[in-house]
Amino acid sequence: MAFEPGIRRRQMVVGNWKMNGSKQENTHLLAEVMHSWVPLTQVDVAICPPFVYLPQVADTLQGSGIVWGGQSINPNATGAFTGEVSARMLSDFDAAYVIVGHNERRRLRGESDQYVAEQFLAAQREGLIPILCVGESEEAREAGHALDAITAQLSVVIEKAGIGAFANAVVAYEPIWAVGTGKSATPQEAEQVHKHIRQLFGDLGSQLTLLYGGSVKVHNAAELFALEDIDGALLGGASLDAKEFLAICRCAEQASHKG
């Protein structure tokens, strides 16, 4: 897939289950999703469960049009890395995507921009599409440095992978202060950062799939998706509720007619 000027970007909704679920809960959630699922022509939909539930999710979603992915990877393909999972292993389960650089991993596991860039490259080597998360802290925003923080995070990956690599990548803007807090960025705040990110990619910016994440719920999804530079959402909490998840997917489908 190459950047092609004039080709309209698709909308996308990704559910990041984080460390939630059980075999039984997943069975119920997925059954409810599948029961009301109507394949969408304009929206790519993916679910990223915890690693151990990947086979369960893959078996259930097979052939549905909803694809699946991982929440992180180790950049190495194999080896003595206890507790880690590689991009190759995700590919083995036909994963389409992998989230890299989520702020919870950056914070809890000390993942640096350099490390995230290695994960990004490892994902692409194995044919996965990385969903690269970037986002500023509350302090950075209050100090007026939000855009600088985003630029710094993205620059390391661009430098290592090259701008062209983003033809097969998704970028998700997730302001740290909006994740799991119920306090979403306003549409204007999100749009400003999304515009900035597109500018960083020069000519390719207009073709980049760019998601917003951070307390997206059905009540604010339509307003966010209506904006020119927002192509959909990376959902946390809302992806654990089938009705909410499906309603947000439908909002994305409606938004695909914008512009």
Ligand X SMILES: O=C(CO)COP(=O)(O)O
Contacts with ligand X, 84-103, as mask; x by CB under 6 A: ------------------x-
DSSP string, 15-39: EE--S---HHHHHHHHHHHHHH---
Q: Out of 153, 213, 220, 225, name the contact with ligand X by CB under 6 A.
A: 213
By the 10 Å C-beta count (0-12 exposed, 13-18 middle, 19+ buried), 2 is classed as exposed
Q: Out of 171, 211, 234, 249, name the contact with ligand X by CB under 6 A.
A: 234
Q: Which of 118, 174, 244, 253 is catalytic?
A: 174
Residue with structure tokens 């194995």? 126
205 is in an annotated binding site: no
Q: How far is the CB of 203 from ligand X (least distance, A)?
A: 28
Of the two residues 11 and 16, which places its CB atom closer to ligand X in the complex? Answer: 16
145 is catalytic: no
In the numeric block, which tokens belong to residue 47?
């679910």
Q: How far is the CB of 164 from ligand X (least distance, A)?
A: 26
174 is catalytic: yes
Decide if 255 contacts 11 (C-beta within 8 A).
yes
Q: Out of 237, 241, 244, 248, name the contact with ligand X by CB under 6 A.
A: 237
Q: Does 214 bind ligand X (CB under 6 A)?
A: yes
Q: Does 21 bind ligand X (CB under 6 A)?
A: no
Decide if 198 contacts 208 (C-beta within 8 A).
yes
Of the two residues 140 and 234, which places its CB atom closer to ligand X in the complex? Answer: 234
Q: How far is CA 18 from the centre of its chain?
A: 12
17 is in an annotated binding site: yes
16 is in an annotated binding site: yes
Separation of alpha carbons 22 and 11, rounded Å: 29
Q: Does 119 bind ligand X (CB under 6 A)?
A: no
Q: Out of 171, 216, 242, 251, name the contact with ligand X by CB under 6 A.
A: 216
Q: What are phi and psi of 43, to 5 degrees?
A: -130, 130
Decide if 90 contacts 57 (C-beta within 8 A).
no
Decide if 105 contacts 72 (C-beta within 8 A).
yes
Q: Does 215 bind ligand X (CB under 6 A)?
A: yes
Q: Is the dihedral of CA 238, 253, 65, 229 positive or negative?
A: negative
- Which SS3 state, helix, strand or coil, does residue 130 take? strand
Q: Does 240 bind ligand X (CB under 6 A)?
A: no
Roughly how many angstroms between the first and final C-alpha of the chain, as a whole number? 23
Residues 141-200 that bind ligand X (CB under 6 A): 174, 179-180
Q: How far is the CB of 48 from ligand X (least distance, A)?
A: 8
Instruction: Cite the annotated binding site by residue number.
Output: 16-18, 180, 215, 236-237
Which residues of the chain form contacts with ligand X (CB under 6 A)? 16, 102, 174, 179-180, 213-216, 234-238
Which residues participate in catalysis according to the annotation?
Answer: 102, 174
